[in-house]
Every structure is written in structure tokens, then in C-alpha cells.
Amino acid sequence: MVSAPSLSPATVAKPDLISVEQAKAMDLARMTDLFKAHLNPGQLHFMKLLGFHKIKIERAEGMFYIDQNGRKILDFFGGFGSLAFGHNHPRILEARKKFQEEKRQEIAIAFMSQYAAALAHNIAKCSPGDLDMVFLGSSGSEAMEAAVKLAERAAGPKRPKIVYAENSFHGKTKGVLGITDGQLYRADFKMADNTVRIPFADIEAVERLFRSDPEVGVIVLETIQGGAGIIQAPAEYWQKLRALCDQYGVLWVADEVQCGYGRSGRFYAFEHYGVIPDVTALAKSLGAGKAAVGAMIARREVYMKAYGTPKTAMIHAMATFGGMGEACVTSIEGLNVLYDEGLIDNAAVTGDYLLQRLRALREKYPKIIKDVRGKGFMIGLEFHDFSQTLPMVLRPIVSVLDDKLKGSLSGFVGALLLRDYDVLVAFTEYNRNVIRLEPPLICQREHVDRFVDAFDSLLSRGIVSIVKDFVKSQVR
């Protein structure tokens, strides 16, 4: 009989690791060195252009980031829609703290999880019609991968083609990259060969395709295109789309990762149009700003067709980190807060106030602001091409550079709003002339007024002064 020691002797040397406290105390110079060495040196170039590299965020609360100097930065970026409750909502923190203190289970693989089951129930209750079968994951890309896989399988091998829209964004993972219409992200990867691209919001193009190609089985669309610059289709488009899908037996997947979860003033943006897709997806704020949670939600009939037997049930079952205990508890509490605090209604009402104030600025600065559009707290603010914002005498000279200068004015404005007014905004992937505004759903009129007043003050300097001020910021 040989008895093993209770613990093996320590023979592996500990590497030179950074502790949690050392990470918290890290200065900007060290942060920059590590970002360049281990994360994304190319991205650092753009952070420096915008002045973001000068800021170390120490904490965040409600509508604000607080930096190393105690400066409060108003967050109208909102993590691309992932911060519905703002930063560190007390109810969310308390739910997570209690979960930890009671040492409840995390990984939901071997046993059923009461937390995953409860979250799936809550998502189904928030979803209209028979959207009641839920897959839990960790990101929007994962949720959309699950949605497209399920729809393709339910459509069947005789209808393998998947339709997507121009200027779409559905994620960067390999599967949904094939229906993401961005050359920057596609790069030189080999895409799936069963996809068809059509213009967004062109119902005639949809009808022609459905009529002419019986192999089309799935159409995937963002209800509001985020990366394209906050682009919407009219109600008639969605109603006709639903009718065409029913007529031709095509499954409609609605990507609500960014526009869902109350951001548009309804839980799902498609609810504005009185229609229900066959499959949809949520993420971003589903994790309540403290956890990485994504979900696919499907009509029971569609789900059962794809995975409804013991033989097929495990084809796309939850991954290791799908339905983790604390993440689910965070999401459960988040959904309750969403309704208890009336945040969907607030997105509709205060979002409309934000749109009204921005449209007044468009009237005030018609040579700078081309368009203001959106719904709820998902708003795009589009500038004219750079040459059109300049004095008449300079326009012919600069117009030849408009394509190369696309996005420059958005960058100048974003950088100066942060530097001079302590306001953070976002940008869009495809139309670089657009500033994207997705503040937390807790945003109040006072925050709207502060943002719009700052934006007004900046634009009142005039384009030439804005350019000069930005250039000065780069040489300091």
C-alpha cells in the first residue's frame, strides 16, 4: 500500500504576475506599455488621436465614469448599448454580492440550474408571441451564431441560403462574419458560400429574391442597423417582410443585440411594427453591465424542428459558460429593475426629448449637421462631408479629399467633447460621419441638457476653430 501525500510539493515556480492591487494602482505609462505589448498596438494609435489614452478610469457610477483626477465623464457612449442601468446599479451589485456570500453554484453543466431556468422563463415572458425557447451564451456574436445555426437547420438542407443586408453587423466570430457586411472585418478570411446580400429596407429586392430562388431558407436583419449609422426601415417594410416570409416559408432572424432590451422604447425594436420574427437574439445590457450574457430566443415550433428530439438535442446545447449562476442572477435582477424602474418608458420619453433637442441643433447648424435619426436611446447624428462644412471658398479645394476625410469631423468633435466638456460619445463602423449616442436607459433630462448644451457650445466655435483646437490637442 502506497499513500499519496495530501499535497504535492511546490515545484512550479510562480511567474512574475501582477496582483489585483498592483493592477488597480497601475499608472498610465505602464498601462500603455502593457496594452502595446500584449493587447492591440494598432488600436492604441486611434486612442491617442482621440485623447482616450490620457485617461485612467478609477471607478464608475450611474451616468458617469470617474478618472484618476476625480473628473466625472458623462457617458453617452454606453458601451455600444451594454449599460442600460448605467454603471454599478446598487440592486445589481447587491444581487451579485448575495450570490457570492452564499457560495452558490456557478457552472451549469452536470446539473440543472435554477438560475438558468428562471432567466429563460423571464426572457420568454418579456418576448411576444411564441418566442419562448431560449439558448444562453456569453456574447452577442455567440447568440447570433446560435440563431443562424438553428434557423438554417430548421429550414432544412434543401433551403441552405441565408440572406443578409448591406452594411449589416452581426458579429466578428467566423460564422456570423459571413453575414456581416464589412470588408474591414471580413479581411481575407474565407466566407461561407451559402449567403446572399441584398439592400437594407428594400422590400422589392426581398420579394424578387424569394420568388426567384427556392433555396433561400433564412433572412437575417438588424431591426435597427447600428454599425451602418443607426438606419431604420419603415413599418410597412417589416409588415410586408413578415408576410413574405410566411408566404415563401422563409425563417426571419431579427438581430436585436444592440437595439433590443428596451433601448428603442419597446423591449424589442420590432414590437414597434406589430410583427414577430421566428428567431431573435439579445446581449449587451442583458448582462446588466456586470456580466457577459447573450441569448437566442426562438419560436417553439422552429426550435423543436431543429433540436427537438433526444437525438438532436445536443447539437447546439449550452457551452461551458452559458447559464453561469452569477451571470444568470445578474440578468434576472436586471430584467426586474428594467420594469420596476420604468426604464423602457424612460427610453421612449427621454429619448424623444433628446431627439427633439438634437433636431433643433440641426436647424441651428444646417451646414454641419446633415441628419439626426433614431429611436429611444439609439440615435445617430450625421455630419455633412467635411468640405460642405467649410466656408464656400474652400469647398472646391477640399471636396476632392472628402472620402479620405470621412470620419474626421466626428473624431474631432468626439475628442473635444471629451477633453473640454467631459462627455463621451461613440462612432459607427460603416458611415464614419456619424456619431452614435447610446446612453444608459437611466438617462434623465438633466443629462440630455448637459450633453446637448456641450455639443451646442462646441459647434458654435465653427469648423475652422474646431479643427485648430483638435490639432493643438495633438501637439501638446
Q: How far is C-alpha 320 from the geometric centre of its chain's CA atoms? A: 23
Kindly list the distances between the CA atom of residue 313 and the CA atoms of 304, 447, 472, in Å, as whole numbers in the listed order.
9, 48, 60
Q: What is the mean pLDDT of residues 384-399?
A: 67
Q: Is residue 254 classed as helix, strand or coil in its secondary structure?
A: strand
Percent of the chain with pLDDT strictly greater than 90: 81
pLDDT at 91: 98
Q: How confident is the model at residue 319 (pLDDT cuts 50, 70, 90)?
A: confident
Kindly list the distances between the CA atom of residue 453 and the CA atoms of 369, 433, 448, in Å, as whole numbers in the listed order.
15, 21, 8
Q: What is the pLDDT of residues 454-467, one digit of tens each?
A: 999 999 999 888 88
Q: How confident is the model at residue 404 (pLDDT cuts 50, 70, 90)?
A: low
Q: Which cell numbers hold the place of 230?
A: 443607426
Confidence check: pLDDT of 3 > 90:
no
Q: What is the mean pLDDT of residues 9-25?
A: 90
Q: What is the mean pLDDT of residues 135-142?
A: 97
Confidence check: pLDDT of 8 > 70:
no
CA angle 163, 165, 171 (to 5 degrees): 90
What H or E segment, with its residue span, contains residue 188?
none
Neighbouring residues of 445: CB distance < 8 A, sequence distance ≥ 6: 350, 353
Q: How confident is the model at residue 229 (pLDDT cuts 50, 70, 90)?
A: very high
Residue, of 10 and 339, whose pLDDT is higher: 339
Q: What is the mean pLDDT of residues 2-6?
A: 66
Q: In one letter, which amino acid is 126?
A: C
pTM tops 0.95: no
Average pLDDT score, the chain = 93
Please tell me the distance from the alpha carbon of residue 314 to that of residue 324, in angstroms, as a whole number: 18
Q: How confident is the model at residue 173 (pLDDT cuts 50, 70, 90)?
A: very high
Kindly list the distances between the CA atom of residue 291 and the CA atoms of 54, 93, 231, 283, in Å, as whole numbers in the listed order.
27, 11, 28, 10
